[in-house]
Amino acid sequence: MTVRDIYASLDALSPFVMQEGWDNSGLLVGDFSQEVTTVVLSIDIDEELLETVPENALLITHHPVIFGGLKQLQFNQYPAKILAPMIRKNIANIAMHTNFDQTHLNDYVATQVLGYPIIAKEGFVAYLGVDEAYDTFALKVKTALGLPNIRGVRCHERITTCALVTGSGASLMRNIQADCFLTGDIKYHDAMEAKTLGLSMLDIGHYESERYFGEVLAPHLEKLGLSVIISPSKNPFTYL
């Protein structure tokens, strides 16, 4: 199959037109006419991963390796340091970021990982039916996601409805209509604002909430007869 063939299948599954205006999903490295026999799925691309990826492969990632405008390519700096070996090995890259969040990833984490029903959806935001004490709910979320710890903002003793956005979604908090908001990368001032809004929050981590990308996408690609490798993406953070 060619990169174009695979891109068309991905677009049918999770239309790239659904991505946010600030996003950069799509074909970022490579040529649509390139023949592909091996597909590697990963959240991100790093040097260690590129050492194991065979030549002429297609890397499908969640996060775009090229995000903002590039004004220079200095091969000792990110992202050029990542792009150089990709070009040498003829490795193509398609990113499926905010489009895949909306069509698949949030739903999967809500129902298959956390085990709660989705009662409504608004773009990125999945609303879950909960009806549990805050402490009970927080512990269940921590355990389901395998978090070493969980921090939160407590504004309710009991959670009846909860909003979920995988990755980094705290900027959406003013539009959340729920008792609690699950998302990653919650900053100090986000927590202060949540207090004033009366919105409970739980920080579910960026990597921890998105690390299911490969296992969600792989079955769809395997149906095309492709050899699919799910990379064990590594969290850039360590916990002591």
Examine the pLDDT at 127 and tell me if it is beyond 80.
yes
Examine the pLDDT at 196 and tell me if it is beyond 90.
yes
Residues 101-118: tens digit of each pLDDT: 999 999 999 999 999 999
- Domain boundaries of the chain, sorted by first residue: 3-96, 100-209
Which pair of tokens denotes residue 37? Answer: 């026999």
Tell me what the pLDDT averaged over the chain comes to: 95
* Pick from 39-48, 63-72, 186-195: least confident: 63-72
Pairing type for strands 158-168 and 200-203 reads unpaired
Dist. CA 101–CA 10, nearest whole Å = 13
Each as own residue / partner, the long-range contacts of residues 168-175 (CB below 8 Å, 24 or more positions apart, any chain) are 168/206, 169/124, 169/125, 170/201, 172/124, 172/125, 173/197, 173/199, 173/201, 175/122, 175/125
Examine the pLDDT at 240 and tell me if it is beyond 80.
no
Residue 108 confidence (pLDDT):
98
Residue 72 confidence (pLDDT):
84
Task: Report the phi/psi class of residue 131: left, alpha or beta, with left for phi > 0 and alpha for psi in -120 to 50.
Answer: left
Examine the pLDDT at 168 and tell me if it is beyond 80.
yes
Average pLDDT over residues 151-159: 97
Examine the pLDDT at 149 and tell me if it is beyond 90.
yes
On whether the 3-96 domain is CATH 3.40.1390.30, my answer is yes
The predicted model scores a pTM of 0.93
100-209 topology per CATH = 3.40.1390
Dist. CA 212–CA 205, nearest whole Å = 13
Residues 11-45: tens digit of each pLDDT: 999 999 999 999 999 999 999 999 998 999 999 99
- Under a CB-based contact definition with an 8 Å cutoff, are residues 95 and 24 in contact? yes
Residue 92: strand pairing partners: 58
Do 3-96 and 100-209 have matching folds? yes
Examine the pLDDT at 71 and tell me if it is beyond 90.
no
